[in-house]
């Protein structure tokens, strides 16, 4: 996806102002809308080197049959991502540093 620029070690930012981080559990990026505006918004501490988003990040998607297939539920605090136990990937229950944005984006 074009239009995403690196703004820190572990974050990218979309042309629309969305903030992106790479999730090693899902092996894909997640994006959040921050600041003023319509729709769901997350709090963001403004630190692109050690971001904190509030309240939590919940990403889910369905398979081709329309059934809930995957869940990624986490807290991102001070540049670390804490995966909750209800995640459907192998990092459930673990806390890790957010990976390097540019490296992860380039390899995705």
Query: How does pLDDT run across 53-83, given as a tens digit for each residue?
Result: 999 999 998 888 878 789 999 999 999 999 9
- Contact status, residue 72 vs residue 82, Cβ threshold 8 Å: no
pLDDT for 34: 96
pTM of the model: 0.91
The pair of structure tokens assigned to 64 is 């081709």
How far apart, in Å, do the first and last CA atoms of the chain sit? 11
Does 104 have pLDDT greater than 50? yes
């Amino acid at each position: 996806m074009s239009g995403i620029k690196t703004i820190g070690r572990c974050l990218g930012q979309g042309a629309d102002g969305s903030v992106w981080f790479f999730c090693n559990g899902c092996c894909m990026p997640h994006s959040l809308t921050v600041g003023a505006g319509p729709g769901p918004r997350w709090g963001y501490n403004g630190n692109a080197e050690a971001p904190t988003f509030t309240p939590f990040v919940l990403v889910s998607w369905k398979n081709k049959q329309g059934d809930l297939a995957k869940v990624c539920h986490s807290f991102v605090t001070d540049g670390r991502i804490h995966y909750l136990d209800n995640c459907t990937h192998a990092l459930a229950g673990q806390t890790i540093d957010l990976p390097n944005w540019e490296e992860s984006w380039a390899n995705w």
